[in-house]
Amino acid sequence: MARIIIDNKILNQMALIRSHRWNKEYDWHKDIQLMESLRLQIPNKESSNELFGIEGMCSNIYLNAFVHMLKGDFAFSGRNRRPPKDPINIILSLAYTFLTKEVISALDAESFETYLGFLHGVRYGRKSLGLDIVEEFRQPVVDRLVMNLFNKRMLGTYDFDTDDTGRVLLNDDGFSKFCKEYERWINRKISSSEDASFRKVIRSQVSKLKTCIMSQEVYSPYRWRD
């Protein structure tokens, strides 16, 4: 299961890179080639730590490409958190929080023990199974939403404030706008070929996971295709 989760995450990262309308300023093909070579090592990994090593290298490559996908008003050089220090990281963290709650709610509805995961180990207070399922929706749901919000300038400088310490904060108007756009995004029809919203797909995947566990079948995570 842990191998399946990481393999699918990398495939979703590669799919988003391929789907972007690139100009000639950035050679994304080398990123795909390197990620594919790392992905081929997954079957040989015997522990979650080894898998996280592959995931970390691929995520670094992906994030470097993601930096070049963002064309809004704000600079973005990579992920930072606890707390996030710039508008893009603020919205990424907020969107991942919303997505995690979405997934955990679906798991609770199917009576899963959310503190026990396949990839993420047991840690006090952490709902590891929720984090496992979040992995298959990071790029399709969160990263694409964030690109949409900033590249189309649906969020701008007026949606963020700076406090006396210099910390950047999402203001009330910006938060309200984000919530509306998140709900619209999570409930919209995914594509012309998929007659379902991401909210429905998340619930469907959790139901599928339950069926696979009960019948001892191999689980297939959500694979995003442009």
For 55-77, the pLDDT digits (tens) are 999 999 999 999 999 987 788 87
Please report the pLDDT score of residue 84 as a whole number. 85
- The CATH number of 2-215 is which of 3.40.30.10, 3.40.50.2300, 1.20.120.920, 3.30.200.20? 1.20.120.920
Q: Which amino acid is at 10?
A: I
- Identify the residue with better confidence: 154 or 82: 154
Q: What pLDDT was estimated at residue 125?
A: 79
Q: For residues 136-141, give the mean pLDDT.
A: 94
pTM exceeds cut of 0.85: yes
Task: Calculate the CA 142 to chain-centre distance.
Answer: 5
Q: Is it the case that residue 96 has pLDDT exceeding 90?
A: yes
Question: Is 58 in a helix, a strand, or coil?
Answer: helix
Judge whether residue 194 has pLDDT over 70.
no
CA–chain centroid gap for 178, Å, is 16
Number of residues assigned to the chain: 226
Q: At residue 195, does pLDDT exceed 80?
A: no
pLDDT reported for residue 140: 94
Q: Which of 136, 145, 144 is nearest to 9 (CA)?
A: 136
CA distances from 187 to 51, 143, 183, 190 (A): 32, 16, 6, 8
Provide the pLDDT for residue 193: 66
Q: Is the pLDDT of residue 212 over 70?
A: yes
DSSP state of 190: E
121 pLDDT more than 90: no
Q: How is the chain split into domains, by residue range?
A: 2-215
* Percent of the chain whose predicted confidence (pLDDT) is above 90: 70
Statement: residue 36 has pLDDT above 90:
yes
Quick one: average pLDDT of 201-226? Answer: 92
pLDDT in tens, 41-55: 999 998 888 998 999
Average per-residue pLDDT for the chain: 91
Tell me what the mean pLDDT of segment 150-158 comes to: 91
Compute the distance between CA of residue 159 and CA of residue 169 in angstroms, rounded to an integer: 9
